[in-house]
């Protein structure tokens, strides 16, 4: 596998137009470090402006509806997001699974809706703290991934995000990240054969400039999905730089 590291900022429900200057500063760094594939998923309200203003950075959405159109007040379809300038969609984030009761089946359908209009997909999975403590994390996350995967690996990435590591400043042991990513790789090759070997598996959960080098060096970690630290260039650029320094 000789793909570039994929470093993605998930801005969640953060960012007014004033934040576009941070995105531009991130973009300038991304242009200096072409070894790394950099992307930002801002709130939908900023997608078009980012698409227009950034040249070295991918722009994506944080969710989509699985249907192409219809009576779904307040929702946005993959074709709409694509037209607005999004090139990829994050699906199945634990905050959406929790806040909006999204099921594995819905996550799979959303991923397939994005693929149908040739958008990239970042499919998120991860265990709760209780599942980690009970020693079932790998089993639970492998099952969750298998049930959420779209039918093809077209433009697919996976993000392993332990729920207890999101926004907490806590990260798993490097050995636990290695074991989980190895297990998820098996799920991917079982489903897609050789193509499953090329799906990048990102790590997410309290990634910062200080821990990025160690996490990105783990076998089968193909990038990072970054929340809080991606909101400013000062927070995000050191993570991009850490990816550029990996062999």
Residue 34 and residue 99: Cα distance in Å, rounded? 36
Q: Does 60 bind ligand 13P (CB under 6 A)?
A: no
Binding residue for ligand 13P, selected from 206, 212, 216, 233, defined by CB under 6 A: 206
The answer to whether residue 204 forms part of the interface with ligand 13P (CB under 6 A) is yes
Query: Segment contacting ligand 13P (CB under 6 A): 20-28, 143-151, 174-182, 219-227?
Result: 219-227
Which strand (E) or helix (H) includes residue 59? strand 58-61
Contacts with 223 (C-beta within 8 Å, 6 or more apart), sequence order? 5, 6, 7, 8, 37, 157, 200, 202, 203, 216, 243
Name residues contacting ligand 13P, limited to 94-153 (CB under 6 A): none
List 22, 131, 161, 220, residue binding ligand 13P (CB under 6 A) = 161
Residue 157 as a binder of ligand 13P (CB under 6 A): the answer is no
CB of 224 to ligand 13P, least distance (A): 8
For the chain, the C-alpha Rg in angstroms (whole number) is 17
Among 22, 95, 161, 220, the active-site one is: 161
Q: Is 93 a catalytic residue?
A: yes
* Min CB(68)–ligand 13P separation in Å: 26
One residue of 207, 216, 218, 244 binding ligand 13P per CB under 6 A: 207
Angle, nearest 10°, between helix axes 233-245 and 209-216? 30
Chain-centroid distance, C-alpha 245: 21
CB 199 within 8 A of CB 182: no
Nearer to ligand 13P among residue 7 and residue 50 (C-beta):
7
Contacts of 125 (CB under 8 A, 6+ apart): 92, 141, 144, 145, 148, 158, 159, 160, 161, 184
Does position 227 bind ligand 13P by CB under 6 A? yes
Q: For ligand 13P, which residue has the nearest CB?
A: 227
Contact 6, 39 (CB under 8 A): yes
**Which residue is associated with the tokens 């074991």?**
179
Stretch that binds ligand 13P, among 46-54, 204-212, 214-222, 235-243 (CB under 6 A): 204-212
Query: Is residue 226 at the binding interface for ligand 13P, with CB under 6 A as the rule?
Result: yes
Q: Interacting stretch for ligand 13P, rule CB under 6 A, among 64-72, 77-85, 141-149, 160-168?
A: 160-168
Site string for ligand 13P, 164-183 (x = CB under 6 A): --xx----------------
What span, in angstroms and rounded, lies between the C-alpha atoms of 36 and 28?
Answer: 13
Which residues make Cβ contacts (< 8 Å) with residue 21, sequence separation at least 6? none
- Evaluate whether 96 touches 66 at the Cβ level (below 8 Å): no
Using CB under 6 A as the criterion, which residues of the chain lie in contact with ligand 13P when the complex forms? 10, 93, 161, 166-167, 204-207, 225-229
Catalytic residue numbers, as ranges: 93, 161
């Amino acid at each position: 596998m000789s793909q570039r590291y994929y470093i993605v900022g998930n801005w969640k429900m953060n960012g007014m137009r004033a934040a576009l200057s941070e995105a531009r500063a991130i973009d300038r760094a991304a242009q200096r470090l072409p070894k790394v594939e950099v992307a930002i998923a801002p709130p939908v309200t900023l997608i078009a402006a980012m698409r227009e203003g950034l040249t070295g950075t991918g722009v994506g959405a944080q969710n989509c509806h699985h249907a192409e159109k219809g009576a779904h007040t307040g929702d946005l379809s993959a074709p709409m997001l694509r037209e607005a300038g999004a090139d990829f969609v994050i699906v199945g984030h634990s905050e959406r699974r929790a806040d909006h009761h999204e099921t594995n089946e819905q996550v799979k359908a959303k991923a397939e809706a994005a693929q149908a209009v040739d958008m990239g997909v970042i499919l998120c999975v991860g265990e709760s703290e209780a599942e980690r403590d009970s020693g079932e994390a790998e089993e639970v996350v492998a099952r969750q991934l298998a049930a959420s995967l779209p039918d093809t690996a077209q433009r697919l990435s996976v993000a392993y995000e332990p729920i207890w590591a999101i926004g907490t400043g806590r990260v798993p042991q490097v050995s636990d990240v290695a074991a989980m990513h190895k297990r998820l790789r098996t799920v991917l090759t079982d489903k897609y054969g050789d193509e499953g070997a090329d799906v990048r598996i990102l790590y997410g959960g309290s990634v910062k400039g200080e821990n990025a080098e160690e996490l990105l060096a783990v076998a089968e970690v193909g990038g990072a999905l970054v929340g809080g630290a991606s909101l400013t260039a000062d927070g995000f650029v050191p993570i991009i730089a850490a990816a550029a320094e990996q062999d």
